[in-house]
Each structure stands twice: as C-alpha cells, then as structure tokens.
Amino acid sequence: MMSFDEIYEAYLDTVYSFLKFKLNDESLIEEILQETFLAVYRGLDRLADVKSIKAWILTIAHHKMVDQLRSVKFDEVELDQNMLVEDFSTDLTLKEALNQLDPTASTIIYGLYVEQLTYQELAEIIGIPVGTVKSRAYTARAKLRDWFKGGVKHESRLL
Amino acid sequence: MKADYYSDLALGYIQGSLTPQEKQEVFQLIMEAPDFCEILLLELELSRTLTECKTAPPKKTAANVYFRVLASAAAQPSAKLAESFLTPIFRASLPNLVTWMIFNYQRRVFVDAR
C-alpha cells in the first residue's frame, strides 16, 4: 500500500493541474490542495478499497472545490467570469473554445484528454450518471472538433 | 450514433486503451472510412493540444501544502485515533448505561401509574 508521501509525490501534479484548469485564484487552489490532501491523509485506511487512486483523489478535490466555491457564494455566472482560467498560455485558440464550454463539460473534456479517465470515473468525480457524462462528452467533443475545423469559432456558447 | 462511436474508438486508440479486436477495427476503418480518418485526426489534434494544459505546481506551493497538511493532521486528533480510543469504551459502557436508563424509566412510569 502507498504511503502518504508516495501519494503526494505521485498525484500532486494531477490535482494541481486539475484545479489550475478550473480556477484562476492561486491562493484558493492552494487552500483546496491542502484540504484535499488532508482528506487523503485521513482516508489512507480506505485506500485498499479504492479502484483508482487518481479518480479517488480527483473526486475529493472536485468536492472540496465545489464546497469552497459555495462557501464564498460564487454562483455559476460569477464562477464562469471570475474563477475560471482566463489565460491559457499554451494555445490562445483553445482557450476561446474551452471558455465557451460550461464548467461540467470542460471538466469532462479535461478528464478524458488530459487525465485519460474513463466515463465511469468521471461520473463518480462529478457526481452525475455515466449516461449524462457520455452525452455531455459527445456534444462537447463534437463542438470542439467543429470548432477546430473553424466552424463555430464565434458562436456565443458551445453548450 | 456512428460519430460518437468513432470518437470513442479514436480516443481509445490514441490513449492505447483498445482491445486487439478494437485495434483491428481501427486499422480497417482507417483503410475504408474517410469520415473515421477525419475524426481520428481531429481527436489527435484535440488530445495533443489539451495535454499541453497540464501544469506542475510551483515548488513553493508543493512544499507549503505538504507541511500544512502534516501540521493540520498532527494538530487535530485523527478520526481513526478517536474511533480506536472511544469505540471500545462506548461498546463496554453503553449497553449497561442504556439498561440502567430503561430500568429507571420503567420504575418511574410504574410509580407514576400507581
């Protein structure tokens, strides 16, 4: 079984990258990271029952992020405008596309492509049915593909 | 939907998560289905671009979070410790305590009834 230090070493980048993808505020990210890994530390005895450590930790991180955002009373509109990443230095055009996806769809896309999670794992992380994850993924991917082809570049909202 | 199926197949191929039969199907589709080839190329582009989103935390953040987690864990008694300490006490004392309470309650009820 992995020790806390090994888990921290192995999954810190994954959790940080996920939070950085979703949020803009570095101090908030640090706070959520701390709460997430504290929960991991306290839940080490449950590790034997966990199928995928990455999905388990990302589920905790997602819940902590939602709790934090609720506690500071950010509604969806404020979340979109103030908290989501605005500066995608890697690719400006990708930033435009991803910012037009709603938060759940962008989480699904991130999970599928960056962390290579399964639909089942994403359903557990976000807390929605697998079928919904699939349909949201198909819609978002189709829109992103269209967008890559240049079709819907200036549409106001992708989903 | 064919496009959805092709998308999953293309993504699975890129991520290397397909079974040998599915891989065989991909090779066949590459030869025969131009619409699959188009989806595969776009999925490759999407995958490549999105993978670049991955960012590592600054070293300072990594160290800060690590020490704060350990400090928080040490400052508060863990649930496991509390459970291992309190559970045997409750297990041993609660049945007696509840029996005593029921006994006293019954006595009071019967006294009041008289």
Q: Which residue of A has its CA nearest to B8?
A: A138
Of B55, B70, B94, the residue at which a domain comes to its end is B55
**Optimal mutation site among A15, A24, A33, interface B, most CBs of chain B within 10 A:** A33
Q: Are residues B79 and B110 in the same domain?
A: yes
Q: Are residues B63 and B109 in the same domain?
A: yes
* Judgement on whether residues B36 and B60 belong to the same structural domain of the protein: no
Residue range(s) defining the domain that contains residue B94: 56-114
**ipTM (interface pTM):** 0.74
Query: What is the CA A8 to chain-centroid distance, rounded?
Result: 18
The count of other CB atoms within 10 Å of the CB of residue B3 is: 14
Closest chain B residue to A135, measured at CA: B4
For chain A, the domain total comes to 1
Chain B residue numbers with beta carbons less than 8 Å from the beta carbon of A29 are: 61
Of A17, A42, A88, the CB nearest to B54: A17
Q: How far away is chain B from the Cα of A155, in angstroms, using its nearest Cα?
A: 19
Domain of A95? 4-149
Say what the pLDDT of residue B97 is: 78
Place of tokens 């803009």: A24
Same domain (yes/no): B32, B14? yes
Least Cα distance to A141 among B6, B22, B54, B51 occurs for B6
CATH number of the domain that residue A64 is part of = 1.20.140.160
Tens-place pLDDT, residues A81-140: 444 444 433 444 676 677 788 889 999 999 999 999 999 999 999 999 999 999 999 999
Q: Say what the pTM is.
A: 0.73
Q: What is the pLDDT of residues A35-76, one digit of tens each?
A: 999 999 998 888 888 888 999 999 999 999 999 888 775 544
B51 and B67 inside one domain: no
Residues B48, B96 share a domain: no
Q: Is B46 close to A148, i.e. CB distance below 8 A?
A: yes
What is the mean predicted confidence (pLDDT) over B7-33?
92
Inform me whether the C-beta atom of residue A10 falls under 8 Å from chain B C-beta atoms.
Answer: no
Judgement on whether residues B47 and B74 belong to the same structural domain of the protein: no
Cα B90 from Cα A135, distance rounded (Å) = 49
Q: Are A145 and B40 in contact (CB under 8 A)?
A: no
Q: Count up the domains in chain B and report the number.
A: 2
Q: What pLDDT is attached to residue A159?
A: 46
A157 inside domain? no
Nearest to B41 by CA among B7, B88, B70: B7
